[in-house]
Structure 1
Amino acid sequence: MIRQKLAAALIATGLAGVPIAAAHAADPPARRGEYLVNVAGCNDCHTPGYFLGKPDMARYLGGSDVGFELPGLGVFHGPNLTPDKETGLGGWTDAQIATALQTGKRPDGRMLAPIMPWHAFAKLTKQDIDAIVAFLRSIPSVKNKVPGPFGPGETPTGFVMKIVPPAPAK
């Protein structure tokens, strides 16, 4: 009895430091997906607060509060990648998520912002894409509708990082 209680206490203490995503990503494909999402830096563009120096990990992958302004194209915010049905990927099928990751095409036919590195993700194996999808399905849902996208003549409603071309050489 004492050994069982000691073992339970050790396990509980050991799990206290496990990130939320890892606790939800118990199956091997989701764990692989978590690894790939972390290595790819998805958190950078898709977690609120990241570009302001204070990532809100309680809303991990819940959509950026800072947009990218691309000259001539407009302003784009990293969308909510959580399974929220209204503001995230919860209404997308696994195949639609995989297609967006590998072709840049959303279910509504629009292309993802050019800053999204889908060209690189197109080279991932089917198993790796399936693992990323499994991980995205396993994380806590966050209700967060990001602003935009905003066309070149539209006024953004939040913070913006501008990509500024260099001045012409003299």
Structure 2
Amino acid sequence: MSASANSIAATILMLAAAGAARAETQVERGRYLVSIMDCGGCHTTGELGGHPEPGHTLAGAKIGWAIPGVGIVTPPNLTGDVATGLGNWTSDDIVKLLRTGVRPDGREIVGPMGWRAYAQMTDPDIRAVAAYLKSLPPVVHAVPGPTPIADFKGAYFTVAHP
């Protein structure tokens, strides 16, 4: 092998090693997955109305869905805020929700949340989503739980019976 061929081979090996050192972290993978799953499309304040609020990415919505027999459900705050978000949830709590649709308090989520599709993710990917959500800085934004339609003070979409 010539000196220039050795130099090229060495450069390729060095670049490959550098690329491996920059491998995606679990949180970066989770951020990517949350992005392509469009979690922010529902869980970002103002996004459902076409006007996302700066600083409120994944902090919960103000618009909900009318679910027959349940009331209005509003996409919750997914940030690390203890009082209004997932701050008290463990990564295992998030994984369980995505696998089973059941929250730590035992309530099953309802509405358009696609947990049945998310349940099909690989273990590393679902753990990456949980790691990313746990990494989010807290944003204080209270979102109501299921609310009777008559008591709801915002806009909502109507969902027909299944």
TM-score after normalising by structure 2: 0.79
Given that 1:46 and 1:78 are in contact with CA atoms closer than 8 Å, whether structure 2 keeps it comes out as: yes
What is the SS of the residue equivalent to 1:59?
coil
How far apart, in 1, do the equivalents of 2:156 and 2:145 lie?
A: 11
Taking only aligned residues, the RMSD between alpha carbons, in angstroms, comes to 1.8
Given that 2:59 and 2:141 are in contact with CA atoms closer than 8 Å, whether structure 1 keeps it comes out as: yes
Instruction: Give 1:12's aligned residue.
Output: none
Q: Percent identity?
A: 41
In structure 2, what residue type is equivalent to 1:93?
T
Deviation at 1:114, TM superposition (A): 3.2
What is the SS of the residue equivalent to 1:119?
helix
Given that 1:147 and 1:158 are in contact with CA atoms closer than 8 Å, whether structure 2 keeps it comes out as: no
TM-score after normalising by structure 1: 0.76
Number of equivalenced pairs: 139
Given that 2:95 and 2:130 are in contact with CA atoms closer than 8 Å, whether structure 1 keeps it comes out as: yes
In structure 1, what residue type is equivalent to 2:109?
L
**Cα deviation 1:80-117 (Å, max 9, x = unaligned):** 00011111001011111110111000011000123211
Choose the corresponding residue for 1:87, options 80, 84, 89: 84
Q: After the TM superposition, which residues 10-49 of structure 1 pair with which residues of structure 2 at under 5 Å, given as runs?
A: 28-49=25-46
Choose the corresponding residue for 1:144, options 141, 145, 148: 141
How far apart, in 2, do the equivalents of 1:123 and 1:133 lie?
A: 15
Given that 2:70 and 2:146 are in contact with CA atoms closer than 8 Å, whether structure 1 keeps it comes out as: no
Choose the corresponding residue for 2:74, options 47, 72, 77: 77
